[in-house]
């Protein structure tokens, strides 16, 4: 089985664009086409319909994508276990984080690994809807996320440990702060674009954001721009193209080019680590027990 061709196939099946799929692997569009054509020839079926305007999956391609993606994930998980065994690791944990949590969890991971150096931890970052979906599919042993992710599961399905809580703050460029010196955050948001990482749907959705703004500020800004990463969000703020609402613990907002303003907020957001109760990974359970016993001075 040629796993390289399968990875290329899965990527193309998701984006349906040869140029975009090829750029992910730093190869040419022609090379991507050759890999897909070779895979189709080996299988004896047509996986994609191609035209000058668009690329679509055939029914055979759709069925193959559904099945082979799971096989690929299992193969890569097996490879990780093999590598861990080769390096004398006694356990292996896959942890998923949301958009911001990486900025306030380093102490948990570093202290755990000081105590259990024979355990390997792989950390992945996803938008919250993808994070919970991958957790449901058992691609992750644990997730560290906003407390609201608990709502995706029945209480008896999961074990959770609260890690910390944090207020949200409004971030604008230092130059803009000077311009808005005598204005409240509400007045600033009525003039600025609000730059957000909220998704169209799912847990961290635009609907959720608007409900939060209505609850805490009493209104929803007229102009909202969506980005797909914290880096893009803060770059827009730094260059004076809007304001952003982010958790107070995000380290990047302490940059001198940005100003942090307090927001009216009904209650701080809580963050927790979540494990399925039927998780058979002893190392993941050990991490949960460790978090429960640890009391760190975090925001």
Which structural domains are found in the chain, ordered by start? 3-75 (1.10.10.10), 88-165+270-293 (3.40.190.10), 168-267 (3.40.190.10)
The angle at the Cα of 109, spanning 108 to 112, to the nearest 5 degrees, equals 85
- Kindly provide the residue ranges of all beta strands, DSSP E only, lying in 114-264, ordered along the sequence: 119-125, 142-146, 158-166, 168-173, 194-196, 224-226, 243-247, 258-262
Structure tokens at 263: 């927001």
Per-residue model confidence (pLDDT) at position 234? 94
Q: What are phi and psi of 167, to 5 degrees?
A: -80, 160
- How many whole angstroms separate alpha carbon 261 and alpha carbon 250? 14
Which one, of 206, 224, 67, lies nearest residue 128 by Cα? 206
Q: Exposure string (b/e) for 212-232, b if CB count within 10 Å is 16 or more?
A: bbeebbeeebeebeebeebee
Q: Identify the DSSP state of 147.
A: G
Mapped onto helix, strand or coil, the DSSP state of residue 275 is: strand
Which one, of 146, 158, 155, lies nearest residue 199 by Cα? 146
Which one, of 165, 171, 186, 151, lies nearest residue 257 by Cα? 171
Per-residue model confidence (pLDDT) at position 4? 84
Which one, of 149, 138, 134, lies nearest residue 205 by Cα? 149
- Kindly provide the residue ranges of all beta strands, DSSP E only, lying in the chain, ordered along the sequence: 48-50, 55-57, 91-97, 119-125, 142-146, 158-166, 168-173, 194-196, 224-226, 243-247, 258-262, 269-276
Q: From first to last of its 299 residues, what are the pLDDT tens digits of the chain?
A: 578 888 899 999 999 999 989 988 889 999 999 999 999 999 999 999 988 788 999 999 999 998 888 888 887 777 777 766 666 667 889 999 999 999 999 999 999 999 888 888 999 999 888 899 899 988 999 999 998 888 889 999 999 999 999 999 999 999 999 889 889 999 999 999 999 998 888 778 899 899 989 998 899 999 999 998 899 999 999 999 999 999 999 999 998 999 999 998 778 889 999 999 999 899 999 999 999 987 544 33
């Amino acid at each position: 089985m040629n796993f390289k061709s399968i990875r290329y196939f899965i990527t193309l099946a998701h984006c349906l664009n040869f140029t975009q799929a090829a750029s992910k692997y730093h190869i040419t569009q022609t090379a991507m086409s050759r890999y897909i054509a070779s895979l189709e020839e080996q299988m004896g079926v047509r996986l994609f319909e191609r035209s000058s305007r668009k690329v679509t999956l055939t029914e055979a391609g759709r069925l193959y994508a559904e099945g082979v993606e799971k096989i690929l994930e299992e193969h890569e998980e097996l490879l990780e276990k093999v590598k861990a065994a080769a390096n004398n690791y006694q356990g292996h944990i896959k942890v998923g984080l949301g958009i911001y949590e990486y900025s306030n969890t380093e102490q948990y991971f570093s202290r755990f690994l000081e105590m259990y150096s024979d355990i390997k931890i792989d950390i992945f970052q996803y938008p919250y809807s993808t994070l919970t979906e991958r957790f449901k599919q058992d691609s992750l042993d644990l997730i560290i996320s906003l407390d609201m992710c608990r709502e995706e599961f029945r209480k008896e399905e999961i074990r959770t440990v609260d890690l910390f809580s944090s207020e949200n703050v409004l971030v604008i460029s230092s130059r803009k702060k000077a311009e808005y010196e005598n204005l409240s955050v509400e007045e600033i948001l009525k003039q600025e674009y609000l730059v957000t990482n909220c998704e169209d749907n799912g847990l961290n959705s635009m609907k959720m954001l608007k409900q939060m703004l209505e609850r805490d500020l009493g209104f929803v800004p007229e102009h909202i721009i969506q980005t797909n990463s914290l880096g893009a969000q803060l770059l827009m703020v730094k260059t004076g193209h809007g304001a952003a609402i982010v958790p107070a613990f995000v380290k990047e907002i302490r940059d001198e080019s940005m100003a942090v303003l307090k927001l009216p907020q009904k209650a701080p957001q809580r963050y927790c680590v979540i494990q399925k109760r039927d998780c058979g990974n002893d190392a993941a359970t050990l991490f949960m027990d460790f978090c429960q016993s640890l009391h760190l001075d975090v925001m």
